[in-house]
């Protein structure tokens, strides 16, 4: 079977990859980085598609930490913003995270409905690429923000896709080829002129940008979405997810999702 890799963007694009594809969800600034940082530290991390779902899920957890932003602002009654740097500095790793973001957790929520769903950012892109090689078709999807396929997500998508192409995968379309050619050799700092980086700097959150740039390929782990929880992947996940029906592999979360 021919092995295919596609690059796409926005949560709504996941629908076309539900059958036959493993989906890699990417939101570098900041949801995916926050999620993998939480799990690497030893926390449980759940992703919510809406503020209502976040509060419903929090009610079912013991002493949860509500983490997130909507349109850049921390919602009322949340404990902290969607900040990987601030989360990494906290010592209360026994508290599970309920994570909400404007677009990243929406993408993760959609990806979680697929038979095989993974999560990647600058911190683990290379390991993620190696891990998904067991799937014949892979879609690497950026979260996007305000209608833009942001530079940092294009870069991370390109890096994952480039590793797969080097391993023998064929690009699905010209868009995938163009994004890989543009970004595959770009340094992490190439994203600092983009809209996401500019927002963090102007809003006094440059610490998160610094965190993203200082943590590149420093996690040797892949992460999967199971029942909308982000967990470290094991080798068995590739075979199990590749052959399980989506409804069995990714049951609906225990809240009233849209």
CA distance linking residue 64 with residue 57, whole number of Å: 9
Name every residue whose Cβ is closer than 8 Å to that of residue 179 and which is 6 or more positions away in sequence.
7, 154, 157, 158, 161
CA dihedral 97, 47, 158, 72 (to 10 degrees): -80
User: Which percentage of the chain shows pLDDT scores above 70?
Assistant: 91
pLDDT, one tens digit per residue, over 113-148 is 998 999 999 999 999 999 999 999 999 999 999 999
Q: Which candidate, 223, 222, 225, 232, places its Cα nearest to that of 246?
A: 225
> 102-119, pLDDT tens digit by residue?
999 999 999 999 989 999
Q: In 3-state terms, what secondary structure has residue 224?
A: strand
Q: State the pLDDT at residue 253.
A: 44
234 pLDDT tier (thresholds 50, 70, 90): confident
Q: Which residues, 6 or more positions from 96, have their beta carbon under 8 angstroms from its beta carbon?
A: 43, 44, 45, 46, 61, 62, 63, 64, 65
pLDDT of 257 strictly over 90? no
Q: What pLDDT, on the 0 to 100 scale, is given for residue 100?
A: 98
For residues 232-239, give the mean pLDDT.
67
**Domains contained in the chain, CATH given:** 4-236 (3.90.1560.10)
Q: Which pLDDT does position 1 carry in this prediction?
A: 76
How many other C-beta atoms lie within 10 A of the C-beta of residue 202?
Answer: 9
- What is the average pLDDT value for the chain, to the nearest integer? 92
**What percentage of the chain exceeds 90 in pLDDT?**
88
**CB distance 6 to 169 below 8 Å:** no
Full-model pTM: 0.91
Name, in order, each residue with C-beta under 8 angstroms of 172's C-beta and a sequence gap of 6 or more. Answer: 4, 5, 6, 7
Mean local confidence (pLDDT), 208-233: 96
The whole-number average pLDDT for the span 56-65 is 97
Q: β-pairing, 22-26 with 65-68?
A: unpaired
Cis check for the bond before 132: say yes or no (omega within 30 of 0): no
């Amino acid at each position: 079977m021919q092995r295919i890799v596609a690059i796409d963007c926005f949560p709504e694009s996941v629908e076309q990859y539900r059958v036959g594809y493993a989906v890699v969800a990417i939101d570098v600034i900041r949801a995916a980085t926050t999620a993998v940082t939480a799990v690497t530290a030893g926390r449980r991390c759940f992703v919510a598609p809406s503020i209502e779902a976040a509060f419903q899920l929090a009610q079912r957890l013991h002493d949860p930490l509500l983490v997130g932003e909507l349109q850049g602002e921390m919602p009322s009654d949340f404990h902290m913003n969607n900040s990987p740097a601030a989360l990494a500095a906290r010592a209360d790793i026994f508290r599970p995270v309920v994570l909400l973001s404007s677009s990243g957790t929406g993408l993760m929520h959609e990806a979680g409905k697929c038979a095989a769903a993974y999560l990647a950012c600058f911190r683990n892109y290379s390991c993620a690429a190696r891990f998904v090689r067991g799937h014949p078709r892979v879609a690497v999807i950026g979260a996007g923000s305000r209608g833009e396929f942001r530079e940092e997500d294009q870069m991370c998508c390109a890096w994952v896709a480039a590793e797969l192409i080097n391993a023998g995968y064929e690009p699905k379309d010209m868009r995938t080829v163009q994004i890989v050619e543009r970004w595959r050799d770009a340094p992490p700092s190439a994203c600092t002129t983009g809209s996401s980086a500019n927002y963090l700097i102007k809003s006094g959150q440059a610490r998160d940008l610094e965190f993203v740039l200082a943590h590149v390929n420093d996690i040797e782990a892949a992460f999967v979405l199971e029942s909308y929880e982000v967990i470290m992947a094991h080798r068995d996940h590739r075979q199990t997810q590749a052959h399980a029906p989506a409804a069995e592999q990714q049951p609906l979360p225990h809240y009233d999702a849209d």
